[in-house]
């Protein structure tokens, strides 16, 4: 029972010190109103690390709704047997069998093979740097996917899904400018991302990005 309770606490991020996190992020004038509007915002964990990682790959450069439909219609219905497919099943999938674009299918199959072979550990307590390095070594997996998995699976409070379109749109920033801005949010970048995901575009964001060094 204690292990289940621990997983639930991780899933809902119940051990986060919201007062400390909110105080730190509120130092940034861009984030201060977002933190005031949603104090105590937490970073959800993952009940199943493999499923979360696969869904992250499905979500590359598409909307959340599109990624959800790909998971439900192309993975669960075709080979899930009532639930999300296991790694060994997806590792044996043939090209075109899942109806997923080629590059993302290669990334999912590569991830599934690595998990099935034990080369990648997506369980609680996995070493963050090792996980990031191994994910980035897979074809079709880049900084955004690795950062998202770091947030949700490894529960790294400073994980940052580099190049996230929603973050860039909210800030009105280029990827390089967003990375520079995010340095001031450390070691709580994952929580800053949650606030930005929950926010409409910031008023005057483009001007503030310019002042941060963007030319």
Question: If you write DSSP's letter for every residue of 160-191 in order, what string do you get?
Answer: --TT-HHHHHHHT--HHHHHHHHGGGTT-HHH
- Residue of 146, 177, 174 lying closest to 161 (CA atoms): 146
Residue 201 · residue 172 · CB < 8 Å: yes
My answer on whether 62 and 145 are in the same domain is yes
Burial of 155 (0-12, 13-18, 19+ CB in 10 A): buried
User: Do residues 39 and 53 both lie within one domain?
Assistant: no
Query: Which residue, of 113, 132, 152, is where some domain finishes?
Result: 152
Nearest by Cα to 84 from 118, 44, 58, 50: 50
Asked if residue 95 and residue 54 are part of one domain, the reply reads yes
The answer on 98 and 35 residing in a single domain is no
Among 111, 132, 152, give the residue marking a domain's end: 152
pLDDT tens digits, 97-120:
777 878 888 999 999 999 999 999
Q: Do 148 and 57 fall into the same domain? A: yes
- pLDDT tens digits for 52-100? 999 999 988 777 788 888 888 778 777 767 788 899 989 988 877 777 8
Q: Supply the pTM of this predicted model.
A: 0.86
6: helix, coil or strand? helix
pLDDT score of 80: 60
Cis peptide bond upstream of 187, omega within 30 = yes
Point out the domain boundary residue: 109, 132, 152: 152
Indicate the average pLDDT of the chain.
Answer: 87
In a shared domain, residues 58 and 117: yes
| Closest-CA residue to 140 (of 167, 168, 112) | 112
Cα torsion 120, 126, 130, 132 to 10°: value is 80
pLDDT at site 208: 33
Give the helix/strand (H/E) hosting 150: helix 143-152
164 is catalytic: yes
Residues 69 and 131 in one domain: yes
Whether 122 and 53 map to the same domain: the answer is: yes
Q: Are residues 56 and 115 in the same domain?
A: yes
Residues 106 and 185 in one domain: no
User: Can you give the residue range of the structural domain that contains 176?
Assistant: 2-44+159-211
Contact in structure between 168 and 202 (CB atoms under 8 Å)? no
CA–CA separation, 57 and 115 (whole Å): 14
Among 13, 22, 156, 164, the active-site one is 164
Integer Rg of the chain from CA: 18
Domains held by the chain: number: 2
Q: Token pair 């104090």 is at which residue? A: 39
> What percent of the residues of the chain are helix, what percent strand, and what percent coil, each to the nearest 5?
55, 0, 45
Q: Which of 20-24, 108-112, 162-166 has the largest mean confidence?
A: 20-24
Indicate if 16 and 56 belong to the same structural domain: no
């Amino acid at each position: 029972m204690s292990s289940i309770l621990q997983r639930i606490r991780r899933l809902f991020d119940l051990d986060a010190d919201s007062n400390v996190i909110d105080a730190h992020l509120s130092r940034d004038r861009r984030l201060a109103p977002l933190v005031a509007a949603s104090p105590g915002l937490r970073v959800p964990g993952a009940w199943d690390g493999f499923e979360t990682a696969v869904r992250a790959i499905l979500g590359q450069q598409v909307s959340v709704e599109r990624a959800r439909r790909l998971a439900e219609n192309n993975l669960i219905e075709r080979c899930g047997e009532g639930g999300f497919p296991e790694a060994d099943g997806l590792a044996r999938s043939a090209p075109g069998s899942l109806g997923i674009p080629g590059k993302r299918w290669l990334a999912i199959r590569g991830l599934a093979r690595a998990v099935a072979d034990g080369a990648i550990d997506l369980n609680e307590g996995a070493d963050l740097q090792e996980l990031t390095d191994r994910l980035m070594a897979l074809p079709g997996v880049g900084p955004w996917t690795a950062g998202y998995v770091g947030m949700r699976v490894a529960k790294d409070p400073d994980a940052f899904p580099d190049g996230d379109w929603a973050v860039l749109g909210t800030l009105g920033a280029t990827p390089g400018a967003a990375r520079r801005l995010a340095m001031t949010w450390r070691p709580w970048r994952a929580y800053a991302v949650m606030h930005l995901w929950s926010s409409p575009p910031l008023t005057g964001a483009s001007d503030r990005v310019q002042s941060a060094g963007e030319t």
